Chain A
Amino acid sequence: DIQMTQSPSSLSASVGDRVTITCRASHGIRNSLNWYQQKLGKAPELLIHSASTLQSGVPSRFSGSGSGTDFTLTISSLQPEDFATYYCQQSYSTPRTFGQGTKLEIK
């Protein structure tokens, strides 16, 4: 199985900050990497697929990059509604696996 490791596990930031979350795969996965946002008590929502393609309807302040084993999710200017938990997930092989999550909290 491919292991996905996110860092940091938690992060405190302020509205307007630029934030970067990192995801590392245990094996190369080309660009088969998706990012999800999950708010408390809700289902996850797809933000970015194929490492850098913004899902329809997602604000442009979200961006993704990377290929192979190292990936990043960047939020250019945090908004109050962005405080949530973020997960990366590889779609290169089965079983599909997720990172452990990064909880983004208000400073």
Chain B
Amino acid sequence: QVQLVQSGSEVKEAGASVRVSCKSSGYDVSWVRQAPGQGLEWMGWINGYSVSTNYAQKFQGRVTMTTDRSTSTVYMELRSLTSDDTAVYYCARDVGGYGKFDYWGQGALVTVSS
């Protein structure tokens, strides 16, 4: 059974960084976020071996996605946080980076306070 298990909620000050984890069993993963009451926004993709990444232009320079192969965990770090980054952050299995998100983590709420 495919399960993606994410880390818990975080509260950060504006200007800080946040790192969200996703135990993904070695699968390729995309990160998608959802601001309160809003739609879904794709942030980028990383393969299970951390060899390849593909970031949305919007987040280039501010996001880093990595994989710890020893623990089969993927990390998404977002820097220079603003209140606009307050959202639920989801990881989703995306095999081969083909853009089909067939299994999702439970989500991690990141709240940025100013």
Q: Is A34 a contact partner of B42 (Cβ separation < 8 A)?
A: no
Contact B39 A101 (CB under 8 A): yes
Report if A74 contacts B (CB, 8 A). Answer: no
A 91-107 to B, binary, CB cutoff 8 A, 1 in contact else 0 = 11011111111000000
Which residue in A46, A87, A99 is a CB contact (below 8 Å) of B100? Answer: A46
Contact of A44 among B45, B58, B101 (CB under 8 A): B101
Asked if A98 and B39 make an inter-chain contact with CB atoms under 8 angstroms apart, the answer reads: yes
Q: Interface extent on B, as a size class?
A: 20 to 34
A-B contact count (CB 8 A): 56
The interface size of chain A toward B, counting residues with CB under 8 Å, comes to 23
Give the contacting residue for A98; candidates B40, B98, B105, B106; CB below 8 A. Answer: B40
A residues 24-48 touching B (CB-CB < 8 Å): 32, 34, 36, 43-46
B48 on the interface (CB 8 Å rule)? no
CB contacts (< 8 Å) of A46 on chain B: these are 100-102
A65 contacts B by Cβ under 8 Å: no
A34 CA / B92 CA spacing, docked (Å): 14
Contacts of A100 in B (CB 8 A): 39
Q: Is the CB of B39 within 8 A of A94?
A: no
Known: A95-B42, A96-B42, A101-B39. A32 touches B105 (CB 8 A): no
Contact B40 A34 (CB under 8 A): no
Contact between chains at A43 and B106 (CB < 8 Å): yes
Extra contacts, 7 of them, besides A43-B104, A46-B102 (Cβ < 8 A), are: A44-B32, A44-B101, A94-B56, A94-B99, A96-B99, A98-B39, A99-B39
B residues lining the A interface (CB < 8 Å): 30, 32, 39-42, 45, 54, 56-58, 90, 92, 98-102, 104-107
Q: List 23 A-B contacts (CB under 8 A).
A: A32-B99, A34-B99, A34-B101, A43-B104, A43-B107, A44-B90, A44-B104, A45-B104, A49-B100, A50-B100, A87-B40, A89-B40, A89-B99, A91-B98, A94-B56, A95-B42, A95-B58, A96-B30, A96-B99, A98-B40, A99-B39, A100-B39, A101-B39
